[in-house]
Amino acid sequence: MSEVAATTHVFEVHQETFEADVLQASLTTPIVVDFWATWCGPCKALGPVLEKLAAEYNGAFRLGKVDVDQEQELAAMFGVKSIPTVVLVKDGQVLDGFAGARPEGQVREFLAPHVQPLPATDDAAAAETEPETPEQAINRLQQAIAETPANAELKLDLAVALQQAGRDDAAAAELAGLPVNLATDERAVRLRSKLELARAAQGAPDVAALQKRVETDASDWDAHDQLGVRLLAAGDAEAGLEQFLAILQHAPEWNDGQAKKRLLAAFASLDDAALVGRYRRRMASMLF
């Protein structure tokens, strides 16, 4: 018996209903097809993410679940070699796909070129599930890792969730244990930068004390540096970057070029592409 719970936007796909429920239906509504199995740990990590987004997108796409143990012909037809495998069908054609568990942000990036969320109705908005908390993500990922301990992607996801929950030491331990191919993954680089800046902020004086030191002595580069990491930790990214630029402009060689290192770490940790681009250009104008 399948474990899929059918909802408005999630349904089971079978060989006999594939033509109508997927190919024909995709002429009006894109269908995301999730090839999974009950024994697959990564599937259990990815499935809730896909189901959450199907509800959030409010009918902009429907999620079809294919249990590969029950529907081997469908899996063979799509050339599925590993699970989970996800494909997006639109206008009767497969437009895109990926294999392996992915975090929510990357699934959103996968969907973005093809489908946009529909406005929620009042009833749908009221019924919308709460976003997954970091602690909930940690529990989900730890369970999935226990079932498939060789899946390093899940361990990277866990490291990210641990950092988001404020458990930096645990996140660093997970990060240090990643294989070489994932150690240079964009998410790993970003996480490493966040942890580096968080460590730098630990033990630094508070913002008010550091601001007073900077006002008293504008060449107190240590105060500028600590103030920068404190401001970044407090969420004031622009003010923090300004402190590092001040060092770079007037004392670029201070502490073995630490201002440049801080800026690069900050750029890697920030989500605001416009802000990062603006400050990258300012940094480049000082260096070259």
Active-site residue numbers?
Answer: 40, 43
- Say if residues 112 and 98 touch (Cβ distance below 8 Å): no
Our CA dihedral for 157, 163, 168, 171, rounded to 10 degrees, sits at 0
Tell how far CA 232 is from the center of its chain.
20
CA angle 263–269–274, rounded 5-degree value:
80
Listed residue (40, 24, 136, 127) closest to 80, CA to CA: 40
Q: At 113, list the tokens.
A: 């070129």
- Say if residues 172 and 195 touch (Cβ distance below 8 Å): yes
Q: Exposed/middle/buried for 281, CB within 10 Å: 0-12, 13-18, 19+?
A: exposed
**Number of helices and strands in the chain (H, E):** 15, 5
- Say if residues 22 and 71 touch (Cβ distance below 8 Å): no
**Residue 177 and residue 33: Cα distance in Å, rounded?**
33
Q: What residue type is 163 in one-letter code?
A: Q
